[in-house]
Amino acid sequence: MNLGNSPSLAPQYMAMIPPDKLSEIQTKYLEDLGKLGKDPSALEFKDRRFMGEAWQNPWSKALVSTYLLNARYLNELVQAVQTDTKTRQRIEFATNQMIDALSPSNFLATNPEALETILKTQGQSIQKGILNLLGDLGKGKVSQTDESGFEVGKNLAQTEGAVVFRNSLFELIQYKPLTDQVYERPFLMVPPCINKYYILDLQPDNSVVRYMVSQGHTVFLVSWKNPDASMNRITWEDYVGTGVLEAIRVTQEISQQDKINILGFCVGGTLVSTALAVLAARKQDPVESLTLLTTLLDFTDTGILDVFIDESLVNLREKSIGGAEGRYGLLSGLELANTFSFLRPNELVWNYVVDNYLKGNSPPPFDLLYWNGDSTNLPGPMYCWYLRHTYLQNDLAKPGKLKVCGEKIDLSKIKVPAYIYASRDDHIVPWHSGYQSTQILKGPIRFVMGASGHIAGVINPPHKKKRNYWTNSDLPKTADAWLKGAKEVPGSWWPDFTEWLAQYGGKQIPAPKNYGHGKYKKLVAAPGTYVKEKAQKV
């Protein structure tokens, strides 16, 4: 994790707090500290890390109350710093990383639950915890799940299908129909190249792929290759041209259709939109509808990820792996995964440190967390282009600013009907930033906001009857205005999406009985070979 020049609440930033405000915060802090000195329960703090019975003894309550008071005090100081928004975000992020790391629950001597476990297990928990720690040091990451409980193709990515095309960047999977009749236009799914595709096909009961096949769509899916050293010169343009544009062409040929429906998820959506802008510049129109899931096109506000990215960081990456000065390389998938985990440190890091090391437990098997830890590398030039021209300079949203595959990019030339989904609690693609795509694309648009986060909001099968979503047929200029007029609907957004997509599927035809067509034959059974490749150490 690299914060560039990002500081925590250093003395120079304390000096940027107005004296009267600093005095007010400090006076209140000393008053509250005095109250705690007389009675550890004098202030009401609620934190699920400390709700267990073992934490209710007087010594632990005093320790926890002081810790939480100090955390509140530091955050109040951060909010009082008079500086620009980005600097404050960086200070806040670094300060909260420190606060979370110093929690009493993270240390054996101050965690009464861990101490009780030692007594109950007669010391066995310490031995198991050390073994867990040594194992994770070898892997370079904190284990979040029992990785031995899953295997891609066995109990993950099980939807029946076949690889019908392969090039140096991706395998194209065609899935077996589950209905006698299918829509004539195929449905191509482009997942993010930052992770493996099977987030869309975890297990039968939560598989987006299987659900779409069951709704009568002939589904094709891009499975990106996990980059190795031979791919250290691959660019964003390659992912668009050799990747998305080629996948569209092959899907057209196999289905014998002039037009297809296409979906892009996260970075996959950014790649798909870039590809459609290239096609628009060429006056080509092979897509009937576009679906974007948790995708950024306008990078004005990128939420918490913004704290990592500035000119110095991007310049450093360009010089080390991006091809500047002749240096090419890969971004480590392990580094990327650890960075994303530290965006939510209590849930994805310290929770497992406590349970795995201090208490000596082994994490249970969980398909989503197995996928989360199945990392992929990224080619340096592709990654650096992406950082500079989206997160740093927001060039993709500027008509004519960029040239990709020989064409000037203008996203406003994309005029196909679009379904845009964002998740309310997404910390990677803030929903209001996802909404900005409605102001860029020029075709008929349906925008839907789902509950939960970047992944859990998307993977929400209808049969579980969980969560909810919001709809509003009006598309005002701001996300807040859209939300004021939105209607809340219980359950999954998937049925809403398939109802929308059906109108662009074309007529019903008999389901194909074979994979591929013409020169495109079954190469291997799904999930293919690329998805099973593990990230090579960088």
Backbone angles phi, psi at 266, to 5 degrees: 55, -125
CA distance 272 to 192: 10
Cα–Cα distance, 116 to 120 (Å, whole number): 6
Identify residue 445 by its one-letter amino acid code.
Answer: I
Which residues on neighbouring strands pair with residue 222, listed in sequence order? 172
Distance CA 524, CA 519 (A): 15
For residue 332, give the nearest of 232, 222, 190 by alpha carbon: 232
**Which phi and psi (to 5°) does residue 246 adopt?**
-70, -40
Distances in Å between the alpha carbon of 76 and those of 81, 91, 99, 252? 9, 12, 13, 57
Residue 72: phi, psi to the nearest 5? -65, -40
266 included as an active-site residue:
yes
Residue among 121, 57, 158 nearest 525 (CA)? 158
DSSP letters for 193-254: TTS-GGGGSSSGGG-HHHHHHHTT--EEEEEE----GGGTT--HHHIIIIIIIHHHHHHHHH
List the structure tokens of 397: 């949203």
* Tokens of residue 132, six digits: 């867990």
- Where does residue 478 fall: left (phi above 0), alpha (psi -120 to 50 degrees), or beta otherwise? beta
Cβ–Cβ under 8 Å, residues 528 and 158? no
CA distance 206 to 158: 11
Residue position matching structure tokens 């909001």: 457
C-alpha span between 41 and 61 (Å, rounded): 7
What's the chain's length in residues?
A: 538
Contacts of 316 (CB under 8 A, 6+ apart): none
CA–CA separation, 179 vs 42, rounded Å?
64
Nearest to 199 by CA among 223, 175, 232: 223
Tokens of 371: 């996928």
- Do residues 147 and 375 touch, judged by C-beta distance below 8 A? no
Question: Which one, of 511, 435, 449, 500, lies nearest residue 289 by Cα?
Answer: 500
Active site residues: 266
